[in-house]
A and B are shown apart, each in its own frame.
Chain A
Amino acid sequence: MKKILVLLTLILTLAGCSDASVRVSNRNEAVISVGSTSITRGQLFDMMINQDPAGTVITMAKEIILADKIEVTDEVRTKARETFETIKESFGETFSDYLVQYGYKDEQDYIDKALIPFTLQEFATEAYVRENFERLSAEYYPRQVRILQTTKEEDAKAAIAEIQDGANFEDTAKKYSTSTTYKGEMELVHKASGKPTAINTYLSTVRQPTLTSTPIKDDTNTLYYVVQVIEANPERFLDEAVKSLSAIAAISDEMFVKYFEEANFQIYDIDVYAGVKESFAKFLPKK
C-alpha cells in the first residue's frame, strides 16, 4: 500500500513538472562589485541570454556544423582577410569604434569571430550548390542574358527586328531602352534575381541561346522587355552559376535545414526553444 502511495505521489509530482530552464553554474559568484552591490554570473547570464537567445544559439550551432564540414584553410583565411579590408575601407575612421562597440578586442578578433565563420558559410554553401547543382539549376534556371526595357510595344518590336538584323544589343538598348537598369549588358540572372515575373516565366522555358521573337509584356505595368539568352546551359558557366546561386539566402537556408536535421539539433531551454520556434522554426526537429 505504501509503495502504491509513493508511486502515485511520484506520478503526480511528475505531472507538475515544468519546462526546462538552464542556469549557469556558480551563479552567485560576483563578477564585479561597486559599493554595496555585486554583479553576479547569474545576473549577467540571465540578462545576456535574453538579448537574442535564438539568434545566438542558431549562430553557434551553424558554427559547429561548419567547423565539422569545412576546414579553416589558407584559402579561407585569405578570403576572410579580403572581406575584412573591404569592410574596413567602407567604415573609414569609425571602424575602430565599431569594433569596440561590438565587443571585439582588435581586428584579428573580428576576423576570427565574425569573418572566418562568414567565409566558412560561403565555402560550405558553394560546396552544397556544387553537390546539388543539377537540381538547383533546374529550380533557379540561371541564364546569361541581355535585357532591354521599353515603354512602348512598337519600340520593343523595332528593337527585336534590328537585333535580328545583326545590330549590337547594347547599342540597340541605348536607342530604345527607357531604363537605367536594363542597358543590355550581359548579366547572369536566375529565379531569385528580382526580375519581373514575366521575364522569369520566359527564362524558365528557355533551353537554348535565343532572342525573344515578340516583346515580353509585364502585366503589372506598361513595360515591355526584349531578352536575349546568351547561354542557357549553366554547366557552361559553372563557376559563375555556383557563385551566383550560393548568394541566394533560400539555398543557404535549405543547406542548413538539412545539416541541422542530420546533426540531430535539440534544445533544452524553454525560452531559447520559444525564440527559435518563433524565428527559426525550420531548424527545429520535425516531430
Chain B
Amino acid sequence: MLDTIKKHWFVILVGILFISASVYFAYDQTKDILRGKKVDGKDVVFEINGQNITADDFYEKLYDEMGISAIYTLFERAVIAQSAQSDKDLESEARIQANSTIENFKSYYGDSYEAVLLQAIRGVGYSKVSDLETYFKHLLLLEKETKNHFITNSDTFYEEFFEKKSPRLVSHILVAMDDPTKPTEQEQARWDEVKEALESGKSFKEVAKEMSDDTGSAANDGSIGYMDSTSSLVPEFLLAALSLDEGETSEWIRTTYGWHLITVDSTSVEDLEKEDGFFSALSTHFPNAQRQMVWAMAQELNIDFKGNSEMEEQLKVFLKITEGE
C-alpha cells in the first residue's frame, strides 16, 4: 500500500484535490438551494410550531377559499375550447395581445419581468409564458361567444336593457372655456365661429372634425361612440344626451369643460351591435349571462362531477343556476 502511494503520489494528490474541489463545488452550488421536506411521502409546504402543512393540507385550505372560482375558470376554458370556433384573425389578434403584454411587462419590470409574468400566468391556470397567446385566444373566443349569445337571445336581454340604460351612439362639438360662465373675448369669438360654421350649412361632423376642442372625438367627426345612462360623463352632458331621440341635436349645453352641442347619431340595435361598448354594458347589466351561457354550452358537452355532489352544488350556486337548469 505504502509502496503504491509512493509510486503514484502525484496521481493520488491530483485525485484528492479533484475530489475536494468537487465536494466544494457541490456545496457551493447547493448551499442556497431551498431544501424540500416530505412527511409520510407528502410534500411539506411549510412548518410552524412543529406542525407540518403538506401540499394536500394547503390544497384543502386553498380549495376552501377559492376552489370553486378556480374550477370555474378551468371549466370555462375547457368549454370554450371545445365549443367555440376560432379563425385566423382572432388568432392573429391573440398573438398581438400576447406580445404587447410581454413588452409591457418588460418595460415595467425590466430584467425580472419573466418571473413576474410567469406567476401571473400560473395564477390563471397556465404553466409557461408561451401560454399567453392561448390565454388571449380564450378571452377573445369568450368575448365572441358572449356577443353571439346576446344577439341570439336579444328577446331575453334587449328590451330590459334598452328600457333601463337608454344605449346610444353620440357625437358632440366642444368649445372649451376656462370659466364657461364668463367666456373671455377669445373664447367667445371662437364660439361665434363655430356657430357661424354650422349656420353656413356645414355639417355637424365637418364642424366637429375641424373645430371641436375635444381633439379625441374630433378625430372621429365628433363621435364619442357608445354611451348609456351609467356612462361616466358630467351630469349636464349625460342628461342632455339621454333626453334626445335619434337624429336630434341639443341646444348648447354648459359643463365645467365649456359649451357642448350634442347629437344622438343612433339608437338602433343594428348600429349598437357594431360597438364593443354595447356588449360590455350588456355584460355589466346582466352579470350572470356569460357564466350561464358557458353552463348551457357545457350541457351539450356532458359534465361529469365524478360523484362529487357538493362540488356540483357549489358550482351551481356560483353560477346562480337554479334547480332544473
- Interface residue B190 (Cβ < 8 Å from any Cβ of A): no
Picked from B26, B49, B64, B81, the residue with its CB within 8 Å of the CB of A65 is B49
Interface-facing stretch out of B31-39, B217-225, B260-268: B31-39
Query: What residues of A have a CB within 8 angstroms of the CB of B29 in the complex?
Result: 15-17
Most buried by A among B48, B53, B64, B308: B48
Contacts of A105 in B (CB 8 A): 314
Interface bracket on A? 35 or more
A72 at the interface (CB under 8 A from B): no
Stretch of A48-56, A137-145, A222-230 on the interface side: A48-56
Interface locus among B94-102, B191-199, B245-253, B295-303: B295-303
Assess whether A32 is in contact with B303, with CB atoms less than 8 Å apart. Answer: yes
CB distance from A287 to the nearest CB of B (A): 10
Distance (Å) between the CB of B44 and the closest chain A CB? 5
The answer to whether B13 has its CB under 8 Å from any CB of chain A is: no
**A270 sits at the interface (CB 8 A):** yes
Q: Contact: A100 with B122, CB < 8 Å?
A: no
Partner of A272 from the list B26, B46, B50, B73 (CB cut-off 8 Å) is B46
* Residue A266 is within 8 A (CB to CB) of chain B in the complex: yes
Q: How far is the CA of A18 from the CA of B33 in the complex (A)?
A: 7
Check B65–A41 contact: CB distance below 8 A. no
Nearest chain B CB to A185 CB, angstrom units: 37
CA distance A195 to B316 in the complex (A): 51
Q: Which of B55-63, B169-177, B273-281 contacts A (4 or more CB under 8 A)?
A: B55-63
Q: CA of A102 to CA of B37 in the docked complex: distance in angstroms?
A: 32
Contact, CB under 8 Å: B78 / A267: no
Q: Which of B17-25, B85-93, B205-213 lies at the interface with chain A?
A: B17-25
A31 with B55: in contact, given A14-B26, A46-B127, A56-B62 (CB under 8 Å)? no
Instruction: Provide the residues of chain A in CB contact with B314, threshold 8 Å.
Output: 105
CA distance A92 to B317 in the complex (A): 20
Contact of B318 among A37, A57, A100, A113 (CB under 8 A): A100
Q: A11-B23, A23-B55, A103-B69 are known contacts. Are A33 and B62 too (CB-CB below 8 A)?
A: no
With beta carbons under 8 angstroms apart, the residue of B68, B78, B122, B125 that contacts A34 is B78
* Interface presence of B66 (CB below 8 A): yes
- Say which residue of B23, B45, B66, B301 sits within 8 Å of A267 (CB atoms): B45
Given A8-B19, A11-B23, A31-B306, A47 and B49 contact (CB-CB distance below 8 Å): no
Chain A contacts for B15, CB-based, 8 A: 4
Contact of A265 among B47, B79, B306, B311 (CB under 8 A): B47
Contact flag A265-B58 (CB < 8 Å), given A44-B70, A270-B34: no
Interface contact A22-B304, CB-CB below 8 Å:
no
Interface status of A263 (Cβ within 8 A of chain B): yes
Nearest-Cβ distance from residue B207 to partner chain A, whole angstroms = 46
Is the pair A64, B78 in contact by a Cβ cutoff of 8 Å?
Answer: no
Q: Give Cα A17 to B36, complex, Å.
A: 11
Residues on B with C-beta less than 8 A from A87 are none
By beta carbon, the residue of chain A nearest B304 is A33
For residue B120, which residue of chain A has the nearest CB? A50
| A residues less than 8 Å from B43 (CB atoms) | 20, 22-24, 268-269
Min C-beta distance of B78 to chain A, whole Å:
4
Among A22, A35, A64, the residue within 8 A (CB) of B51 is: A64
A37 and B81 in contact, given A32-B305, A103-B69 (Cβ under 8 angstroms): yes
Flag if A269 contacts B45 (CB, 8 Å).
yes
- With A35-B78, A271-B119 as known contacts, state yes or no: A15 contacts B67, CB within 8 Å: no
Query: In angstroms, how far is the closest chain B Cβ from the Cβ of A241?
Result: 30
Indicate if A273 sits at the interface (CB-CB under 8 A).
yes
Q: Are A25 and B56 in contact (CB under 8 A)?
A: yes
B200 at the interface (CB under 8 A from A): no
Distance from A262 Cβ to chain B, minimum over Cβ atoms (Å): 8
Any chain B CB within 8 A of the CB of A36?
Answer: yes
B115 contacts across to A, CB distance below 8 A: 274
Residues of A within 8 A of B119 (CB): 50, 271, 275
Interface presence of B235 (CB below 8 A)? no
- Check if A83 is an interface residue, CB within 8 A of chain B: no
- A68, B78: Cβ atoms under 8 Å? no
Partner-A contacts on B (CB < 8 A): 15, 19, 22-23, 25-26, 29-30, 33-37, 41-51, 53, 55-56, 58-59, 61-71, 73-75, 78-79, 81-82, 115, 119, 122-125, 127, 298, 301-306, 308, 311, 314, 317-318
A binding-site residues for B, Cβ under 8 Å: 4, 7-8, 11-12, 14-25, 30-37, 39, 41, 43-51, 56-57, 60-61, 64-65, 68, 100, 102-103, 105, 113, 260, 263-275
Contacts A47-B70, A113-B65 aside, 20 further interface pairs with beta carbons under 8 A come to A11-B22, A14-B26, A17-B29, A20-B37, A22-B36, A22-B43, A34-B82, A34-B301, A35-B298, A37-B78, A46-B125, A46-B127, A49-B58, A57-B46, A64-B49, A260-B48, A268-B35, A269-B34, A270-B34, A274-B115
